[in-house]
Amino acid sequence: MKKSVLVTGANGQLGKCIEELSLNFEELNFIFKSSKELDITSFNSAKAIFEKHQFNYCINCAAYTAVDLAEDEKEKAFAVNAEGVKHLAILSKDYNTSLIHISTDFVFDGLKNTPYTETDSPNPINVYGASKLQGEQYIKELLDTYFIFRTSWLYSEYGNNFVKTMLRLSKERQELNVVNDQIGSPTYAKDLAEVILKVIKEDNTNYGMYHFSNKGETSWFGFAQEIFKQKNIQVNLLPTTSENYKTKAKRPMFSVLDNSKSLKKLGVIQKSWKKSLTNCLKLSNS
């Protein structure tokens, strides 16, 4: 009998990547629900779908991800990233569903200078990070059979992300200023989607918290440099500091994630961020 998999937030970039890869998994029956079709902040709406389908897995890609806007829309951010996640955790428990949830490097304050492990203490410095951490905590309180994947600097050929923004701006401007003092690991959403589907396919029961990102680290400036280099785009790219480029929400200065646990417990193969960027840019229409 086919395993049944619910994917929430299916129109986001990770949801789209899972949908694309799902064609290779004929042994799985996927139900894709956009945030409009399934509002996770409504318990009854979510319950009706769980009741109807009896899922083996729920991959929660639904999230409020507008980091700066969250500073003004705290209630909305927590409604989706915390309370909505709590609803899915309760339903996953009630319907014997394994929950796979996506979290973020932004649960950390960025004060370390070595990669963050799953056992490091979170200390978010913005509303978005705090709301995502609350969602994690609800899952850990309510469930035993779950996977939480913290990831970082997610991009793909879908949705809105840094890669697409840089490609767009390079057509509009001759000169770009990009922050050079925030360090992280750009991560291709399709690589994360592959990891999630591998866990499901293999019936992996090494439940718990995991970090997954592509290999290597860079700054946003370094990321932009590599995008333009690979696309052979001529633009005057200038490094700037977080101090000079003020945003409403504070960002962690260092948010590189340690992937050792994912490699060991899940058998994950970690691709380099530059190689994965190449794979994405080949498919990008920009």
Q: Which residue is associated with the tokens 């978010």?
A: 124
Residue 76 in contact with residue 133, Cβ under 8 Å? no
Verify whether residue 57 is a known catalytic residue.
no
Which of 64, 116, 128, 155 is catalytic? The answer is: 128
The pLDDT value recorded for residue 245 is 86
Distance separating alpha carbons of residues 90 and 143, to the nearest angstrom: 8
Q: Does any domain span residue 180?
A: no
Residue 65, domain extent: 3-160+187-216+256-271
- Of the candidates 281, 265, 284, 283, which has an alpha carbon nearest to the alpha carbon of residue 273? 281
The pLDDT value recorded for residue 284 is 75
Q: Does any domain span residue 282?
A: no
Neighbours of 207 (CB within 10 A): 17
Please give the tally of structural domains in the chain: 1
Q: Does any domain span residue 71?
A: yes
Distance separating alpha carbons of residues 34 and 11, to the nearest angstrom: 5
Neighbours of 177 (CB within 10 A): 16
Torsion of CA 201, 207, 208, 213, to 10 degrees: -20
Q: Does any domain span residue 227?
A: no
The pLDDT value recorded for residue 80 is 98
Q: Does any domain span residue 247?
A: no
Q: Does any domain span residue 222?
A: no
User: What's the pTM?
Assistant: 0.96
Tens of each residue's pLDDT in the chain, 286 residues: 789 999 999 999 999 999 999 999 999 999 999 999 999 999 999 999 999 999 999 999 999 999 999 999 999 999 999 999 999 999 999 999 999 999 999 999 999 999 999 999 999 999 999 999 999 999 999 999 999 999 999 999 998 999 999 999 999 999 999 999 999 999 999 999 999 999 999 999 999 999 999 999 999 999 999 999 999 999 999 999 999 888 999 999 999 999 999 999 999 999 999 999 999 999 875 4
The pLDDT value recorded for residue 285 is 59
Question: Tell me, what CATH number does 204's domain have?
Answer: 3.40.50.720
- Of the candidates 161, 141, 195, 157, which has an alpha carbon nearest to the alpha carbon of residue 279? 157
The pLDDT value recorded for residue 286 is 47
Q: Does any domain span residue 31?
A: yes
Q: Does any domain span residue 131?
A: yes
The pLDDT value recorded for residue 77 is 98
Helix ranges (H only) for the chain are: 13-22, 43-53, 74-78, 85-94, 127-142, 162-172, 189-201, 220-231, 260-265, 273-283
